[in-house]
Structure 1
């Protein structure tokens, strides 16, 4: 895991699969996603390296319930006064009350999916409580007010988070960049391994209307300037929803 300071408030925790982001406010820390199983201790060490304590985490926002994003959630939820937040459609999956439906993979996605799974620990994500179930348009109290944007398609309950003040967008897996390509000009793409790719494309077009300067993805390097234009360029290439 690498630490990359994107802004004074925002730190990128780069993992081989399933990135994590840390936002610092004067009253405590917010984590966006929790990495794969086993990631929690590395996240705790990163927090210490930044001069804080794991107990300073006030909230954990889960963009969706896939194992590479929610695998460390149960351990992080035990660190102290941590509020766990996720979309209401994703909460039953995170609590272990139902299984996540498998993605509908195109033929070209299957070998990529197999390689990605091979990088993950064999352990499954432990069930985690969800203290606050989110809906589209809800506001979370960090970063000056983070707006919840429902982006179904990757999973039914996928969310993005948009901070209008600093113009930061966390896309979860709805958008991505090729993790194998470190070029800063690597295009933004629609995320892969979707439950409903057409619905995901429609959600992507919605994200592209936001005035984001920085875009943070679950996979691939963040865009640190001019993110809205990059998202719009990709959205223009996606097919329109069927009538």
Structure 2
């Protein structure tokens, strides 16, 4: 069992468990033929991701696939550790995102590129948490492949383009749960943002994003149902004209 602990684990709907991890998030899905993950945290999170599959009531031998929102190390870093233990698991991403997922080079900001923003205490705290999560470890996922329409035939998961944060960023609609998994196309909070800000759908801090203008267009085009399961921050749901964290 991992020594790392999530910030929260929430059952959003039957078969849908959202995990707000130590620094980034993932989702555990019950599918018709087994279990799927959407994203898998940092390298240090591999054991915790598997723990959360068990906490969600599943057998690890039933883990079948990992859908990737985008190939940043805080979302794919746990995949190599998972594949070491469960090599049969498929890793699926948009074709335009495969280079980022497979690595080791990827379309991701480096500490040196953050520059003077590192002077902000909250940015330094985020960086310390990221490095403590093995953010600097080289990550490769050579078996990742491009998903096709057939991969989603008969499933309660539908990919939706969310490009801009990276070249092939993808959101995943979960119609039965009235939810969308957004990765970093839309977040609810982030360690680099003021702690006083209330969680709600918002853009991630711009220096993390490859093409901010395109990311804004993609975010505006996303279908936003009642529940948003973001790549950072708590899951949130609509209440009247506002948003509140999902609990339970």
Q: TM tier, shorter chain?
A: 0.7 to 0.9
The aligned residue for residue 3 of structure 2 is none
- What TM-score comes out, normalization by structure 1 length? 0.79
The aligned residue for residue 141 of structure 1 is 152
Q: Helix, strand or coil: the match of 2:236?
A: coil
Counterpart among 20, 23, 28 of residue 22 in structure 1? 28
1:205 aligns with 2:220: yes
The aligned residue for residue 126 of structure 1 is 139
* Residue correspondences, number: 226
In structure 2, distance between residues paired with 1:169 and 1:142: 18
Residues 1-243 of structure 1: pairs in structure 2 closer than 5 A: 1=6, 2-78=8-84, 79-96=86-103, 98-102=105-109, 111=120, 113-120=123-130, 121-122=133-134, 123-134=136-147, 138=149, 140-141=151-152, 144-179=155-190, 186-192=199-205, 193-207=208-222, 210=223, 212-225=225-238
In structure 1, distance between residues paired with 2:153 and 2:115: 37
The aligned residue for residue 235 of structure 1 is none
Aligned CA distance change for structure 1 residues 34 and 106 (closer, same or farther; 3 Å): same
User: Can you list the C-alpha shifts for 1:145-182, whole angstroms capped at 9, x where unaligned?
Assistant: 42211211111121111123432201000111124689
Higher RCO structure (Cα 8 Å, ≥6 apart) = 2
In structure 2, distance between residues paired with 1:107 and 1:230: 34
In structure 2, distance between residues paired with 1:69 and 1:97: 14
In structure 2, distance between residues paired with 1:4 and 1:182: 21
Q: Helix, strand or coil: the match of 1:119?
A: helix
In structure 2, distance between residues paired with 1:150 and 1:23: 20
- Taking only aligned residues, the RMSD between alpha carbons, in angstroms, comes to 3.1
In structure 2, distance between residues paired with 1:25 and 1:221: 23
In structure 1, distance between residues paired with 2:201 and 2:150: 26
Hey, which bits of structure 1, 4+ residues long, moved more than 4 A? 103-110, 179-185
Structure 1 gap ranges (5+):
232-243
User: Can you list the C-alpha shifts for 1:2-27, whole angstroms capped at 9, x where unaligned?
Assistant: 32211121111221211111011242
Q: Give the helix-richer structure, 1 or 2.
A: 2
